[in-house]
């Protein structure tokens, strides 16, 4: 193209004429910033999924908890009123107490039993350990519906296997296992122990297999017995696994739903109602989604705080000298 009149005049006066700036290409910009932006690009799928499936649902649940909403139509703003109503509701109190029972049973029954099984299977004296591991883990892969129906048959008042055994061996009259509040709660705890002990055992077994056997051999040369080996070597080196298991068990126990729902539907009365059952009842049976979201958000905050306390107590994420 020919130069403009102004450019020719400037050249005639001896002035320097600058060429027009060319637009920068996207490829050049990426080459200059590739090293700085590439790590964020690789980790972006995690943050996208985290935002879609965790952060957004939590924020949405909190927003719904501030409204009265039957599931369709417009929401009616009630502010913090739902929180006060839920905390004063007797049904929520019963569900919270029952969930606390399930959490306590998980921590003080499942964890010790799982540790004992892991110690037994980790011993060289036990034969067919692979077969036993598979057997203990089978309840985890079974459907919760199948498990609940199976235990319904076992604890049936008239034709159940448990009452038949007690009647034949001890002459005890049939017990209404699922119709008595105290016994119904015991049945739910028994199912939780049977179902999840093998799952927690796998974690302890993995931790035990990572402990060097040279430590046990050196301690035995110094005269340490089995009890001292357990307290001075096994338990301290299992501390990270124990911390992880405690957090997993607490979160799992706070979400108990299938067993009470199928066996007793939270009954008799509200004797086995968990907070998860309470949320389901308020949301999908009574169409009070604001109430249900409030209860679920209260549960989330409680589990989060207790989990943080456990992390601080066990020192997860801190290096110990």
pLDDT digits (tens, 9 = 90+) for 284-320: 999 999 999 999 999 988 888 988 888 888 776 555 4
The residues facing 76 across adjacent strands are 68
**Cβ(205)–Cβ(123) under 8 Å?**
no
In the three-class reduction of DSSP (H, G, I as helix; E, B as strand; rest coil), residue 67 is classed as: strand
Instruction: Provide the whole-model pTM.
Output: 0.81
**Cβ(118)–Cβ(129) under 8 Å?**
no
Residue keyed to tokens 């964890």: 111
Confidence (pLDDT) at 40:
86
Confidence (pLDDT) at 17:
47
Distance (Å, rounded) from C-alpha 280 to C-alpha 6? Answer: 79
Both ends of the chain: CA-CA distance in Å?
75
Taking only the tens place, the pLDDT of each residue in 73-92 is 889 999 899 999 999 999 99
According to CATH, what is the number of the domain 82-138+196-314?
1.10.3720.10
Confidence (pLDDT) at 309:
87
DSSP 76: E
**Helix residue ranges per DSSP H, 3-160:** 5-12, 26-50, 56-65, 81-88, 90-105, 111-122, 129-141, 144-154
Give the burial class of 159: count Cβ atoms within 10 A of its Cβ; 0-12 exposed, 13-18 middle, 19 or more buried: exposed
Confidence (pLDDT) at 275:
94
Both structure tokens of 239: 């501390």
How long a stretch of residues is the chain? 321
Taking only the tens place, the pLDDT of each residue in 228-271 is 888 888 888 898 898 889 888 988 888 899 889 988 888 888 99
**Cβ(196)–Cβ(183) under 8 Å?**
no
Taking only the tens place, the pLDDT of each residue in 99-157 is 999 999 888 999 999 999 998 888 877 777 778 888 888 888 888 888 888 888 899 88
Taking only the tens place, the pLDDT of each residue in 159-216 is 888 988 888 888 888 889 988 999 999 999 999 999 999 999 999 999 998 988 888 8
pLDDT of 321 above 50 = no
CA angle 6, 11, 16 (to 5 degrees): 100
Distance (Å, rounded) from C-alpha 187 to C-alpha 195? Answer: 12
Q: Where are the domains of the chain?
A: 82-138+196-314
Confidence (pLDDT) at 127:
75
Distance (Å, rounded) from C-alpha 94 to C-alpha 88? Answer: 11
Residue 231 Cα to chain centre, angstroms: 29
Taking only the tens place, the pLDDT of each residue in 7-40 is 555 555 555 545 554 555 556 777 777 788 888 8
Q: Residue 77: what are its φ and ψ, rounded to 5°?
A: -70, 125
**Cβ(304)–Cβ(62) under 8 Å?**
no
């Amino acid at each position: 193209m020919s130069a403009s009149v102004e450019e020719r005049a400037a050249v005639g006066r001896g002035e320097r004429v600058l060429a027009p700036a060319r637009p920068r290409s996207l490829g050049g910009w990426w080459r200059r910033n590739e090293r700085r932006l590439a790590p964020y690009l690789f980790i972006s799928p995690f943050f996208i999924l985290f935002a879609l499936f965790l952060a957004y649902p939590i924020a949405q649940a909190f927003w719904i908890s501030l409204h009265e909403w039957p599931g369709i139509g417009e929401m009616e703003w009630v502010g913090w009123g739902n929180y006060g109503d839920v905390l004063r509701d007797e049904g929520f109190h019963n569900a919270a107490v029952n969930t606390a029972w399930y959490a306590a049973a998980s921590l003080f029954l499942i964890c010790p039993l799982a540790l004992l099984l892991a110690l037994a299977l980790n011993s060289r004296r036990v034969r067919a350990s692979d077969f036993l591991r598979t057997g203990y883990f089978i309840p985890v892969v079974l459907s919760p519906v199948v498990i609940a129906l199976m235990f319904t048959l076992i604890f049936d008042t008239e034709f159940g296997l448990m009452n038949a055994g007690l009647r034949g061996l001890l002459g005890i009259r049939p017990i209404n296992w699922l119709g008595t509040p105290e016994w119904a709660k015991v049945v739910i705890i028994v199912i939780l122990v049977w179902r999840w002990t093998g799952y927690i055992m796998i974690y302890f077994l993995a931790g035990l297999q990572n402990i060097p056997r040279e430590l046990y051999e050196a301690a035995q040369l110094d005269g340490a017995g089995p009890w001292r080996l357990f307290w001075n070597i096994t338990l301290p080196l299992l501390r990270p696994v124990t911390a992880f298991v405690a957090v997993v068990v607490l979160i799992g126990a706070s979400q108990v739903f299938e067993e009470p729902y199928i066996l007793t539907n939270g009954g008799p009365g509200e004797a086995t109602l968990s907070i998860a059952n309470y949320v389901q009842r308020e949301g999908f049976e009574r169409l009070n989604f604001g109430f249900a979201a409030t209860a679920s958000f209260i549960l989330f905050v409680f589990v989060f705080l207790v989990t943080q306390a456990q992390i601080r107590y066990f020192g997860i994420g801190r290096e110990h000298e």
